[in-house]
Structure 1
Amino acid sequence: MTSTAISAQGSKFFIDTAVKGAAQPTWTQVKNVKSYSGFDGSATEIDITDLDSEAKEKRLGLMDNGSFSMDVNVNMADPGQAALKVAQKASSLESFKLQYPDGTADAFSASVKSFPIAGSTDGVITSTIALTVSGAVKPVAAGA
């Protein structure tokens, strides 16, 4: 096999549940995550065209890291999911970490925009939790 693709199986998502202002984060895993997607933003385009330009000239502005979402099987007894719900109700900016199976990780700040629930016959309660990313997404050591 020649593929260098990384399996998503084994990815872990964490929320920092340390008291605000704590020197070190307390990473609490959000359990029952089935899938995730995100960091879907883009940089703004700044028009720098002037009267000497022969065509439109542009420069990229600040990066907007967009949003992040995850599909979960809901269990409010899970400390990670409960912390997400508390953050949603508080409209607070929280710290998060997405750890990949290869040992790398990304850390970012975000607010919990929505935490809807859905249920059906012969099914479990699920949610697609939406986060709004604020600031940079930074690579960190998985154990950090």
Structure 2
Amino acid sequence: MLFYYFMLILGAIFVIGAVFAFIVMKGDRDYSFSNVGKSLGSFLVGVLLLAVTLPSLKYVVLKEYDVVSGKCVIEMTSSGRSSEADFDMLDTDEIFSFRDIPDLDAYGKAIPYYCKVTVTKDHMVEISYKIYDVKTRKLIVTSK
């Protein structure tokens, strides 16, 4: 969730900064290729970040969430200090990613779990997860 807000704020900063740079260039009448290229690049990156984050903003602000549940397999990848887990929901063929998930006893394609993943209504932003034992439905790990 923190990553979502980071992308949203960064996109807004890039767009506002690029517009400000274009205004300064017009006032100074300094249209060098370098200045125009940097400002245009910043503007395009900002628009891209906003295009990715703004469609889900309504659901995040209004806290309109869906819960996707069913059998899942969890693929863990770690690089350096952080680890990332991909929840592959077998019933719906959706994949959700979470960062800094605690270690499980076993994970991978051979070990199924029962998962409940809370996401926005458009299924673009992951909110939280709960991992249960597939047979006993005993709660193993939760994000909150």
TM-score of the superposed pair, with normalisation by structure 1: 0.28
Larger helix share, 1 or 2: 2
| Greater relative contact order (Cα < 8 A, sep 6+) | 1
Larger strand share, 1 or 2: 1
